[in-house]
Each structure stands twice: as C-alpha cells, then as structure tokens.
Amino acid sequence: MGFDVGGIDVSRETFDDLKSFEALVRKWTSKINLISPSTIPEIWERHIVDSAQIYQYAPKNYEKWVDIGSGGGFPGIIMAIVGKHANPDAEFVLIESDLRKAMFLRTAARELGLRASVISQRIENASEQEADVVSARALSTLSTLIPFIQRHSKDDGRAILHKGKKSQAEVADARKYWRFELEEFTSLTDLEGQILIVKGISRVSE
C-alpha cells in the first residue's frame, strides 16, 4: 500500500525518508533559519507536501535534476527522496550559496542515502549543469529566474516552479523579454499559488 503525498503515490520507504527529513529540518532550524519559525508546526503540509506535488510534472525519464536556491531543501531534497525510489539512476544537484544551508543539505543527503550533490555557489556562477529538470521554490520573479533556468538546463529541458498569487503578472513581465512555452496548474496546498512549467526558452529579439 502506498502513501499519497502531494498527489503522488510513494512507498513506505519514501514516506519514512520524508519523515526523517522532517525531523532533520526541525532539529537544524533551531540553529539555522532553514524555514520560517512560524511554519515549523505546519512543516509537513506547508513545506514537504507543497514540495512533493511538483514531482507529478517531471518527465518519466530524466537523468539530471537541478534545484536552484535550495535553501532548506525544498523542493530539492524532497525531489531527491522521491527520485531515490522512483528513478534511482537520476542525479540531483542542489545549488545553494549560503554555506551553512549547504552544509545542512550535504548532511541530509548523506544521512538519507541520496544521490544528491550540493554546489555552494551563486546560481549565476555555478558551472552550467545541462539538466533535464530545473526546479525553484519561492526564489525570485520569473524574469529573474529565466536566465538561471536557461543557463542550467538542456535545450529540451523544463523548469518546474512554485509561484504565488502574482504569477500572472510575473509571466506577463517575463514575456516582454523572453519567449517560452508555459503550462500552469493550481497548487494543491495554496489555492492562490501556481505551479508553472516553462520550456523552450529564447530571448525576444530587440
């Protein structure tokens, strides 16, 4: 029997890993501001389920997933936990410039036995990753994110992005400078939130 987490069916092993990660975040948040203290009581729904829901929009076959601005591991570590069983050969790369958060991410990856590595550099300075999937959660505006996505994804790759209630305005602003294919889905955890899938990025000609 599987467990439903964010609209995806996960095994007992995956569910247990997610609970172990929840415990790690609770432990480390007392020392490092991984998540807002006010959200600690709601960590499962607010952060883990919210992150897990994007896995349903991943391609069936992917080799490399890059999470930019990984922070406390949402959604990067969550994706690596789900992928550990769903796609065990896939590689996960988390880019996080904050050294203390990067240390936490490495500890979590090691303790949970994840095929995940951490690059503790700014997103724009990290070497190009050629990813099949790029994810980001509550990181920046779409106009700011698109150059990062283009830098780190393959030509036929996709980005899966958590966005808030201003997503439509962000899309309109980004289209002034960039062409891209877009799919939009309502977040399972925030009715005002959106999950955006962005593909086929190119710059609008001057």
What would the pLDDT profile of 64-115 be if each residue is shown by its tens digit?
999 999 999 999 999 999 999 999 999 999 999 999 999 999 999 999 999 9
Token readout for 11 is 């095994």
Other CB atoms closer than 10 Å to residue 125's CB: what's the count?
Answer: 9
What would the pLDDT profile of 14-35 be if each residue is shown by its tens digit?
999 999 999 999 999 988 989 8
Q: Is the CB of residue 162 less than 8 Å from the CB of residue 75?
A: yes
127 vs 205 pLDDT, higher one:
127
The predicted model scores a pTM of 0.96
Domains of the chain: 3-203 (3.40.50.150)
User: Cα separations (Å) of 26 from 29, 31, 42, 75, 117?
Assistant: 5, 10, 11, 16, 22
Percent of the chain clearing pLDDT 70 (strictly above):
99
What would the pLDDT profile of 172-186 be if each residue is shown by its tens digit?
999 999 999 999 999
